[in-house]
């Protein structure tokens, strides 16, 4: 299981530092229902990754992702495709970054966060973890990395739980800070949010290129 954890850890860490979900949860935390909606968002985020993991691990196990302890050929092909997609997303994000003194636009749906009820906050968490292309790509890459090691179903489940825990650190930390520190955390969260919004494109482009290069490298070594 150590190999599975080591293989999936890069994707989990990249998911944890994905800027957009962190910005979303910070914006929720400064609304009147902040604590409830922030917690609900994290629950939705975890639920989304749990569903993706169950689906991908189930399919990969049924399709024999491991061949005598080594990745099956289709796994290497999938990693190559995911790696190329990650590189494409990274380049696209970098080209679309704000230039000069231009400010990065805030997604329209984020302007309505103060009207969210807990069910909508949960749904947003699910969408950003399981439907957002960047995080979906990372989840699939992490689950495939676990499946390719050929460990038992129980061990795969434990490894995926660890993936979810690591991938949730970015969105869970602001919620914990507000629950523990209350209003004292407001200034720090505002500064983090402003920095992430301003540098979102650059951060995403860098992490997508890094994870894309790793996936392509893993695919080549697996052929």
Condensed to tens digits (0 to 9), the pLDDT of residues 91-115 reads: 888 777 666 566 666 667 677 777 7
Residues paired with 67 in a beta bridge: 70
What are the residue ranges in the chain where pLDDT is below 70?
62-70, 97-107, 109
Residue 102: per-residue pLDDT? 61
Residue 101: exposure state from Cβ atoms within 10 A (0-12, 13-18, ≥19): exposed
Residue 99: per-residue pLDDT? 65
* Separation between Cα atoms, residue 125 and residue 55, nearest integer Å: 18
Q: Where are the beta strands (DSSP E) in the chain?
A: 66-67, 70-71
Residue 143: exposure state from Cβ atoms within 10 A (0-12, 13-18, ≥19): buried
* Separation between Cα atoms, residue 26 and residue 35, nearest integer Å: 10
pLDDT digits (tens, 9 = 90+) for 29-66: 888 788 899 999 999 999 999 999 999 888 877 666 66
The pTM assigned to this predicted structure is 0.85
Q: Give the tokens for residue 44.
A: 């939705």
Residues paired with 66 in a beta bridge: 71
Residue 83 near residue 219, CB atoms below 8 Å: yes
DSSP letter for 66, please: E
Q: Give the tokens for residue 93.
A: 């994000």
* Separation between Cα atoms, residue 175 and residue 180, nearest integer Å: 9
The percent of the chain in helix, strand and coil, each rounded to the nearest 5, is 85, 0, 15
């Amino acid at each position: 299981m150590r190999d599975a954890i080591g293989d999936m850890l890069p994707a989990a860490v990249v998911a944890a530092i994905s800027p957009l979900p962190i910005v979303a949860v910070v914006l929720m935390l400064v609304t009147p229902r902040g604590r409830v909606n922030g917690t609900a968002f994290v629950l939705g985020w975890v639920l989304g990754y749990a569903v993706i993991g169950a689906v991908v691990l189930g399919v990969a196990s049924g399709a024999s992702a491991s061949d005598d302890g080594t990745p099956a050929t289709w796994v290497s092909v999938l990693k190559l495709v995911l790696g190329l997609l990650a590189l494409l997303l990274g380049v696209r994000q970098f080209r679309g970054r704000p230039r000069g003194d231009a400010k990065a636009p805030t997604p329209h749906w984020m302007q309505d966060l103060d009207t969210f009820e807990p069910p909508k906050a949960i749904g947003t968490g699910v969408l950003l973890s399981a439907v957002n292309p960047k995080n979906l790509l990372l989840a699939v890459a992490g689950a495939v990395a676990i499946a390719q090691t050929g460990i038992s179903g129980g061990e795969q489940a434990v490894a995926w739980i660890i993936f979810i825990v690591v991938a949730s650190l970015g969105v869970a930390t602001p919620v914990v800070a507000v629950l523990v520190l209350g209003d004292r955390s407001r200034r720090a969260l505002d500064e983090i949010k402003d920095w992430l919004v301003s540098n979102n494109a650059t951060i995403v482009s860098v992490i997508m290129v890094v994870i894309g290069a790793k996936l392509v490298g893993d695919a080549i070594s697996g052929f």
